[in-house]
Amino acid sequence: MKICIVSDTHDNYQSLEAAVTEAKQAGAEVVLHCGDVVAPSTLKVFRKFDLPVHVIHGNNTGDLYMMARITTDPQNHLSYYGQDAEIDLAGKRIFVVHYPHYAEAMATTGDWDIVCCGHSHKPVIKTVKNMKNKETIFLNPGTTGGVGTDPATYILGDLETLEFTVHTLAE
C-alpha cells in the first residue's frame, strides 16, 4: 500500500491539491496529514480524491469544532484524531503527531513501525533506534504549504517495501 504524507499546509489549497494529485497518480491509497491544516475549509480539498485521509490538528489549529464537523461528512472520507493518532495500515503500526520531539520520543519506544510528524517545515526520513533493539522509521514531510522560504514538499511511501521519498512540488 502506498501512502501520501503531508503536513503544515497552512491553508495553501493549491499545494495540498498538487501533492495529493501527484501522490494518487503514483498509486497512493491513503493520505496522512501531520497537522497545521489551519482553516477547516482546507479539508474540503480532499473530497475530490475519494481517498481515506487521517488528520491531526498541530499547533495552528484554526477552528477545531468546525474541523471535527467537516470530518463527519461521509463525502470527505476523513478521520480526525485531535492531537495525535494511532493508525494501523497494511499491517504497520503508525503514530502521527505534529511535534518532532514528541515523535522522536514515541519512535524510541519501539511500539510503532513508523512515526510521522511535521512542525519543523524540513523534510526528514530516518530510522531511530528503539528500546526493543530494532529501528522505527521517522518521517517528516516538511511543509506541503511551502511556508516562508521552505519549498512545498510531501512524502510518498510504500508500506510493503518501507521505501519513502521526499517530493518537492514545482513552483
Neighbours of 47 (CB within 10 A): 14
Tell me the C-alpha distance between 36 and 139, whole Å. 16
**171 falls in which pLDDT band (50, 70, 90)?**
confident
- For 90-115, what is each residue's pLDDT tens digit? 999 999 999 999 999 999 999 999 99
CATH code given to domain 2-168:
3.60.21.10
| b/e sequence 123-150, b meaning 16+ C-beta within 10 Å | bebeebebeeeeebbbbbbbbbbbbeee
Looking at the DSSP assignment, which residues form a beta bridge with residue 152? 143
Average pLDDT over residues 9-34: 97
- For 122-158, what is each residue's pLDDT tens digit? 999 999 999 999 999 999 999 999 998 999 999 999 9
Give kind and range of the element (H or E) at residue 57. none
Bridge pairing between strands 78-80 and 53-55: parallel
Q: For residues 71 and 43, is the Cβ–Cβ distance under 8 A?
A: yes
The ranges assigned to domains in the chain are 2-168
| b/e sequence 97-111, b meaning 16+ C-beta within 10 Å | bbbbebbbebbbebe
Q: Average per-residue pLDDT in the chain?
A: 94
Looking at the DSSP assignment, which residues form a beta bridge with residue 96? 85, 116
Cell of 125: 526520513
* Confidence (pTM): 0.96
